[in-house]
Amino acid sequence: MKLYSEYYVSESSERFVNKIWCLDNSIGESLIENKLVLPNGCFNLAFVTGSSIAVHTSKKKYEMSEGIYFCSQMTNKVLVNIEPKTKVTIVQLQAWTLSMFPNYDLSNFTDSIIKINADELPFTPNLNSSVSKLLKTINLYFEALNTENPKKNTVEKICEIIKLHKEEINVSEIAASLEISQRSLQIKFKAATGLTIKNYIQILKFRKSVDQMVNSDLEKLSLTEVALYNKYFDQSHFIKKFKDVTKTSPKMFNSSLYFLSKKR
């Protein structure tokens, strides 16, 4: 049995959905415990079937029985315990996707999870669908959303500019580029993501650093090189930011404890 797996949506759907990933203990006979997930700047829709999964965020512990859950942006590592006979299928939404639905104000919603009903979603999923059927449902909805909204809104433009500048840009520069006041920019972004623009940039930089550490030969790549490559002031600054999220140092980081994205 493969505990962690990833699936990818169509090219046009990827504008709004990064990927689908699964944590599958459906035929397992024992608890899978103390696995960790890192923040990545995305939202998650989690479809839990079978028994339950326990998720410990920096705010509280959530016991997630069978059902559908909306997971906010996370700012710190999350601990996960998966009960036997449990499968969790997770739709990873881009940071700007919720801004397409302006009735949602997520300003004060981070490191949190809420249970939702299927009829609260803009598409109609079946909780017990296979991944292939869920992919089809996701693609149908988000391909249509992409066609209906060819122009990017402000939040998507902010994220696009940040990516274009490889996370090396500040709020005032983004505001000048979009010809919008910094205050208006911050309000729009926080309402759509729960994060400040600065927090979002820090999370993206952190994940790039982790991916580089995991996918590189550490005997040849020093922490100083990782820090400087990702534009941290120096090694000590990088270590401090790393500890803020993982509660451990880069040298003590054990990637086998984490569910990490596959290199595409």
Prediction pTM value: 0.92
Residues sharing a CB contact under 8 Å with residue 203, sequence separation 6 or more, in sequence order: 39, 40, 41, 73, 75, 195
Scored b (16 or more CB within 10 A) or e, 89-101 reads bbbbbbbbbbbbe
Q: Which of 200, 189, 204, 205 is nearest to 238 (CA)?
A: 205
pLDDT of residue 228: 61
Q: Bridge-partner residues for 19, per DSSP?
A: 92
The backbone torsions φ and ψ at residue 29, rounded to the nearest 5 degrees and listed phi first, read: -105, -5
pLDDT of residue 243: 86
State how far the alpha carbon of 229 is from the alpha carbons of 59, 208, 219, 237, in Å.
32, 10, 16, 13
Query: Do the Cβ atoms of 98 and 192 come closer than 8 Å?
Result: yes
pLDDT of residue 128: 83
- The two structure tokens encoding residue 135: 């992919």
Q: Which of 225, 237, 230 is nearest to 208 (CA)?
A: 230
Q: What class is the 7-148 domain?
A: mainly beta
pLDDT of residue 264: 65
Q: HEC states along the chain?
A: CCCEEEECCCCCHHHCEEEEEEEEECCCCCCEEEEEECCCCCEEEEEEEEEEEEEECCCCEEEEEEEEEEECECCCCEEEEECCCEEEEEEEECCCHHHHCCCCCCCCCECCEEEECHHHCCCCCCCCCCHHHHHHHHHHHHHHHHHHCCCCCHHHHHHHHHHHCCCCCCHHHHHHHHCCCHHHHHHHHHHHHCCCHHHHHHHHHHHHHHHHHHHCCCCCCCHHHHHHHCCCCCHHHHHHHHHHHHCCCHHHCCHHHECCCCCC
Tokens 């600065």 locate to 198
Strand pairing report for 113-116 and 61-71: antiparallel
pLDDT of residue 217: 56
Mean pLDDT in order along the chain per 10 residues (264 residues): 90 97 95 94 97 96 97 96 97 97 91 95 87 95 97 97 93 96 96 96 89 65 66 76 84 85 72
pLDDT of residue 227: 65
- The two structure tokens encoding residue 176: 């000048």
